[in-house]
């Protein structure tokens, strides 16, 4: 069945729209919001206002770049949650209005599921890089750190997750106390590439099973800064590259140790990574190294598909459309949900 799907993503601070036809990406437009940088984090009210300003031009540009007319759309896929309620309301309301005007169905999308299925986006008809089922996916973003067993596009099971902070939060919070700005992850990654990952030693959690914890690492990092700053006021400036390198190495070690355990216990060698933190060069290198050492077939997304984007929403919508999994017009967004 041929299908052309418009995807709309507005869960946080990126307004995005994408068009996919028969699984092949035709366009993917993203409008980011720089307004939050001055506040050290996303301000929900400012985010929702920016979405209201951006959504019409972003959707129009996505349809234009796809080279189609809106009358050719078969369905509209939109992020229903989880995310910021005000931001989700903008995307949900726009999707309802456009779907009603075109007389086509809507498909609701779980934001976390979409990150996992970003690996199935095709950039050409002969693109066959997608993982084979079942596979494990390490989903790491600003608010999520999960190990997911993926048996089918609509059959995912979270087998491990953080019990407190996520990996992305550890990067952002530690970067903030060093005065590196927001978001902290990209800055930490850039400085880490110039530092010594063995310069500092930070505590690692001892959590049973496949679950994660990053609050202890954050506390250990803060105590190190406090103790060293008491002796040298310029400590951070002199050592920020080594601090970032050691922090990044510790986070990656924590993430990969549980993933190794899960892959071994479940006898699964198809392993993927997804989410914003999957753009981290150290984590990407670790996946490649693990693939060589343990015989994994690793799947690492393109940088453009790591952060929040509508292409992942559209591909998820495409599969749900084929199964006629439509949602009613009274569907309301939700801020929190499990897979």
Q: Over the stretch 20-52, which tens digit does the pLDDT of each residue have? A: 999 999 999 998 766 556 656 677 788 899 899
- Name the nearest CA neighbour of 310 among 119, 78, 60, 141: 78
Cα–Cα distances (Å) from 118 to 275, 291, 307, in that order, read: 9, 20, 10
Cα separation, 44 vs 46, in Å, equals 6
Tokens of 322: 């084929």
Tokens, residue 47:
């985010």
Phi, psi of 280, rounded to the nearest 5 degrees: -65, 125
Please give the pLDDT value at position 330: 94
pTM recorded for the entire structure: 0.94
272: confidence class by pLDDT, cuts 50, 70, 90: very high
Strands of 104-206, DSSP E: 106-110, 135-140, 145-152, 155-161
67 HSE (CA, 13 A, CB side): 3
Q: Which residues contact 127 (CB under 8 A, 6 or more apart)?
A: 24
Is the per-residue pLDDT at 3 higher than 70?
Answer: yes
Name the phi and psi angles at 98, rounded to 5.
Answer: -70, -40
Structure tokens at 303: 């940088």
> Whole-number mean pLDDT of the chain?
94
pLDDT of residue 269: 97
Predicted pLDDT of residue 142: 74
- The residue whose two tokens read 């608010």 is 143
Nearest to 123, CA basis, from 329, 339, 314, 317: 314
Q: Which two tokens stand for residue 74?
A: 């078969």
Q: How confident is the model at residue 99 (pLDDT cuts 50, 70, 90)?
A: very high
The answer to whether 172 and 185 have CB atoms below 8 angstroms apart is yes
């Amino acid at each position: 069945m041929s299908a052309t799907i418009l995807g709309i993503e507005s869960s946080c601070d990126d307004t995005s729209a994408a068009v996919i036809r028969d699984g092949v990406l035709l366009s993917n437009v993203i409008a980011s919001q720089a307004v939050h940088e001055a506040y050290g984090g996303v301000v929900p009210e400012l985010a929702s206002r920016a979405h209201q300003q951006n959504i019409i031009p972003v959707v129009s540009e996505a349809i234009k770049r796809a080279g189609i007319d809106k009358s050719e759309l078969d369905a509209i896929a939109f992020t229903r949650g989880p995310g910021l309620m005000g931001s989700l309301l903008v995307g949900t309301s726009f999707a309802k209005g456009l779907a009603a005007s075109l007389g086509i169905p809507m498909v609701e999308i779980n934001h976390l599921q979409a990150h996992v299925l970003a690996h199935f986006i095709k950039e050409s008809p002969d693109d066959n890089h997608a993982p084979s089922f079942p596979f494990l996916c390490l989903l790491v973003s600003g608010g999520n750190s999960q190990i997911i067993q993926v048996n089918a596009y609509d059959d995912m099971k979270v087998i491990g997750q953080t019990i407190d902070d996520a990996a992305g939060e550890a990067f952002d919070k530690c970067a903030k106390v060093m005065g590196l700005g927001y978001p902290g992850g990209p800055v930490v990654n850039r400085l880490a590439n110039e530092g010594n990952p063995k310069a500092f030693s930070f505590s690692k959690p001892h959590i049973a099973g496949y679950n994660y914890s990053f609050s202890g690492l954050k506390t250990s990092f803060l105590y190190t800064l406090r103790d060293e700053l008491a002796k040298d006021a310029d400590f951070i400036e002199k050592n920020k590259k080594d601090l970032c390198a050691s922090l990044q190495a510790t986070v990656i070690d924590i993430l990969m140790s549980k993933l190794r355990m899960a892959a071994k216990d479940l006898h699964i060698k198809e392993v993927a990574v997804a989410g914003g933190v999957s753009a981290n060069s150290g984590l990407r290198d670790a996946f490649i190294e693990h693939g060589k050492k343990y015989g994994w077939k690793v799947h690492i997304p393109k940088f453009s598909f790591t952060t929040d984007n509508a292409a992942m929403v559209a591909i998820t919508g495409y599969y749900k459309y084929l199964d006629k999994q439509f949602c009613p017009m009274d569907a309301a967004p939700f801020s929190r949900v499990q897979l």
